């Protein structure tokens, strides 16, 4: 099975957290014998076109999307 996993960089002044959970999913999926492609979407640009192009190139059977909520409160 061809699997595409998508993560994005958040629009923040801080360093974006690594997609560790998505990487764990990718490793387990590869170990199960599947073909995995991971893409990271940038903060700006035509993201819809980027996703369409990636899907057109790899023709995945399933797509997983990483969603995270980073608590970005000012703690001065």
At residue 67 the predicted structure's pLDDT band, cuts being 50, 70 and 90, is confident
Residue pair 66/17 in contact (Cβ under 8 Å)? The answer is no
pLDDT above 60: residue 47? yes
Domain membership of residue 41 as a residue range: 2-10+17-65
Residue 43 placed within a domain: yes
Q: What is the pLDDT of residues 48-62, one digit of tens each?
A: 999 999 999 999 999
pLDDT above 90: residue 31? yes
Number of domains in the chain: 1
Residue 39 placed within a domain: yes
Residue 73 placed within a domain: no
More confident residue, 23 or 13: 23
Residue 70 placed within a domain: no
pTM of the model: 0.77
Residue pair 7/17 in contact (Cβ under 8 Å)? The answer is no
């Amino acid at each position: 099975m061809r699997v595409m996993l998508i993560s994005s960089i958040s629009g923040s002044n801080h360093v974006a957290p690594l997609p560790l959970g998505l990487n764990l999913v990718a490793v387990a999926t590869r170990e199960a014998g599947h073909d995995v492609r991971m893409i990271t979407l940038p903060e700006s640009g035509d993201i819809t076109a980027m996703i369409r192009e990636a899907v057109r190139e790899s023709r995945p059977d399933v797509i997983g999307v990483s969603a995270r909520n980073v608590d970005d409160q000012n703690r001065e």
